[in-house]
Amino acid sequence: MDTSRDERKLLRYTYLLCLVCFCNLAILKQPFDKGAMIMAVVTCLLIGYSYVVIRKFFSDGDKYIFIFSSILSVIGMVMIYRINTASSIKQIIWFAIGVTSFILIVVLLPDLRSFSKQKHKYIYLIVTLIFMGMAMLVGREINGSKNWIVIGGYSFQPSEVGKLFLVAYLGAELKDYKTFKDLIKPGLVVMACLGFMVLQKDLGSALIIFAISVTMLYIATSKFRYIVTCFGLFIVGALISYRLFDHVKVRVQIWLNPWAYANGKSYQIVQSMFSIASGGLTGSGLGLGHPEYVPVNTSDFIFSVLCEELGILIGFGIIILYFLLFYRCMRAAFYEEDRFSRLLAVGYSSMIVSQVLVIIGGVMNAIPLTGVTLPLVSYGGTSMLITFCSLGIIQKISEEGR
C-alpha cells in the first residue's frame, strides 16, 4: 500500500506547526523577531530535504519513524528558543548533525546481519565498558551526577554512547540464546553497567539500562520467570543502594515527601509541580509563562515548561507522539526475521521509551526524580545525536524487513 500521500500530509502539518509556533514567538517580541522565522525556515528545510532523500533512495522503510521524530524535535526547538535563544541555535545545529547521521546510517550502513559476528560482539563489549566507566575516572559532577566529560568547553555524557553499544552487545549475545548458561555473561555485563551508573549517581541511566535489558531478555527468551527474577534482583539491588549511598536515600526521601525539603533538596521538583499545575489543561500560552522559575528548564524539566505554557492536554499529546514513535519502531522488529536485527530494534525502541517514562515520571513526582533528558525535545547534543543514530538503525532495519 502506498502511504506517501499520508506521509506528505503529516509533513505539511509538521511544517505548519513549526511556522505557527515560531511566528507566535516572533510576534511576542518587539520589534518583530526575524531570528525566530529564520529558525522556522531552516528547520522546515532540514526536515523536507531529509525526507526527500530517504523517500527517493530508500522507499521501502517506515518513513513515519523520521516524521514523528521530526515533530518532537520541532516542539523541542520551539520551547528552547522561547527559553534561551543561544541554546536553540546550538540545538538546531545538533538537530542537523543528528538528521545527517540518521541519513548516513540508512544510506551507508551495510546489511546489519553482518554485524552480529563473534569479533563484533567483543568490540561492542569493550566499547560499552569503556564508555560506561569513563566518567568515574575523568568525569565532572554537574547537577549532582558525575556522568559528564568536559573537553575544550564542550561536555557530553559517555554513558549515552555506552547505551548505544550495550544494545548491540546484548543483541549479539542473546540472538544465540539456547540455555540459561547463555545469559550469565550478558547478565554480568549489565550488572557492571548498573554499578557504574549508581557510583556516578546517574540513577536515570541505571533505570534505562535495566528497562533495555529486561525487554531484550524477554524478547530473546520468552521466559517470564527470568523477568520476575530480574525484578527481584533489581529490588534487592535498590535496597542495598539505598542503605549504602546517601544520594539514593535523598532521592527517595524527596519523592516520598517533597514539601518537607521545598526550599532545599526538593526545590527543583516542587517548582516543576507548581509549573505544571499553573498551566492547567490549556496552558498560559506560548511565551506567556514563567519558565525562569523552573531550574534546568531547557533539559531535565522542559516537560514542565511545556505543560505550563501549552497545557496538560498538549503534554498528553506529546506522550502520545512518543508512543506512536515507539509503535513504529517496534513494528520494524516484527517485520524483521533476523534475530540480531530484531533485538536491535527492540533494544533501541525500549531505550527511547524508557527514557521518556523516567523523566516525565520524575518531573511529575510519580517516581523518584532522575536527571535524564526528554529525547529529541530537551536541549542536549549527545542525547539528540544518540537518539537519531538509534532511530537510523531502526530505519535501516525497517528497510531490510520489507
Q: Is the pLDDT of residue 344 over 60?
A: yes
Q: How many folded domains does the chain comprise?
A: 1
Q: Could you tell me if residue 186 is inside a domain?
A: yes
Strand order in the sheet with 145-151: 140-142, 145-151, 154-156
Q: Could you tell me if residue 225 is inside a domain?
A: yes
Weakest-pLDDT range from 116-125, 179-188, 200-209, 245-254:
245-254
Q: Is the pLDDT of residue 322 over 90?
A: yes
The kind and range of the H/E element at 142 are strand 140-142
Q: Could you tell me if residue 249 is inside a domain?
A: yes
Cell of 65: 519513524
Buried b (16+ CB within 10 A) or exposed e, 131-152: bbbbbeeebeeeeebebbbeee
Q: Is the pLDDT of residue 400 over 70?
A: no
Per-residue model confidence (pLDDT) at position 29: 83
**What's the whole-number mean pLDDT along residues 239-253?**
82
Check: CB of residue 364 under 8 Å from CB of residue 273. yes
Mean of pLDDT over the chain: 87
Cell of 370: 532522575
- What letter would DSSP give residue 2? -
Per-residue model confidence (pLDDT) at position 253: 84
More reliable by pLDDT, 6 or 354: 354
pLDDT band at residue 351 under the 50/70/90 scheme: very high
**What's the whole-number mean pLDDT along residues 223-235?**
90
**What's the whole-number mean pLDDT along residues 139-162?**
76
- Compute how many other C-beta atoms are within 10 angstroms of the C-beta atom of residue 323: 12
Q: Could you tell me if residue 68 is inside a domain?
A: no
pLDDT band at residue 295 under the 50/70/90 scheme: confident
- Separation of alpha carbons 184 and 158, rounded Å: 25
- What letter would DSSP give residue 179? S
Per-residue model confidence (pLDDT) at position 1: 47
What does the pLDDT look like over 326-337, one tens digit per residue? 999 998 888 888
CA angle 238–187–124, rounded 5-degree value: 120
Q: Could you tell me if residue 48 is inside a domain?
A: no
**What's the whole-number mean pLDDT along residues 233-247?**
84
- Separation of alpha carbons 226 and 63, rounded Å: 35
The residues pairing with 155 across neighbouring beta strands, listed in sequence order, are: 150
Share of the chain above pLDDT 70, in %: 97
Q: Could you tell me if residue 336 is inside a domain?
A: yes
More reliable by pLDDT, 163 or 61: 163
Q: Is the pLDDT of residue 401 over 60?
A: no
- Separation of alpha carbons 114 and 101, rounded Å: 20
Domain with 310 in it? 108-400
- Separation of alpha carbons 127 and 120, rounded Å: 11
The residues pairing with 18 across neighbouring beta strands, listed in sequence order, are: none
Per-residue model confidence (pLDDT) at position 2: 57
Total residues found in the chain within this entry: 402
Cell of 44: 522546515
- Separation of alpha carbons 34 and 221, rounded Å: 55
What does the pLDDT look like over 26-82, one tens digit per residue? 998 888 889 899 999 999 999 998 888 888 777 677 889 999 999 999 999 999 999
In the chain, the amino acid numbered 111 is D
- Separation of alpha carbons 360 and 316, rounded Å: 11
Per-residue model confidence (pLDDT) at position 108: 82
Cis peptide bond N-terminal to 291, omega within 30: no
In the chain, the amino acid numbered 330 is M
Weakest-pLDDT range from 1-5, 124-128, 250-254, 299-303:
1-5
**What's the whole-number mean pLDDT along residues 342-362?**
92
Q: Could you tell me if residue 324 is inside a domain?
A: yes
Name every residue whose Cβ is closer than 8 Å to that of residue 402 and which is 6 or more positions away in sequence.
Answer: 60, 61, 335
Cell of 6: 499520508
Q: Could you tell me if residue 191 is inside a domain?
A: yes
